[in-house]
Structure 1
Amino acid sequence: MREAALTLALVGVGAGLVMVERERWRTGLFGVGTVLLVMALARLVLPARRVGALAVRGRLFDVVALLAFGGGVIGLTLTVPIPGP
């Protein structure tokens, strides 16, 4: 059960990338960004022995990095204009 958080994160990112491949890129990348934000929350609240490989550096560094990446992916996804008819 130690790698459950990482496994769930990889499944979520994989599902998002499948959506991107199927030309639902906005929804897929929004999902990837959301998974990164959930990983940040998991890293913040779960003890290091429960998050397994999500614990790369110190807790603060991991949380800030995941928040920055997740927010960046979501922000960039939302700023790309939707093509008009």
Structure 2
Amino acid sequence: MIIGSEFSKKYQELLKEVGTHANNDTSHSIAVKDINANLNLDRTEIKNVLEYLEGLGYIETKTIGGPLLYGHITITASGLSKCEELTKS
């Protein structure tokens, strides 16, 4: 488990990136490699951040596999709300 402001910044940036790719559509499947293109997190970091965000109910894993362990995700309604909150602050 990662605790602290550094992790907080990472999950916020990733959630913002997911929100950008989702275009306010909770059914849109987003490739994890596309999200990570701008973030450049390593395999372990992105796995931990995605699992944390899923645990919070902000994203859902749709496919598993590939170089980043997860293939595709979707954002939830709760995730969209949090993303909007983060972009306003």
Higher strand share: 2
* TM-score, reference length from structure 1: 0.30
Higher helix share: 1
Larger radius of gyration: 1
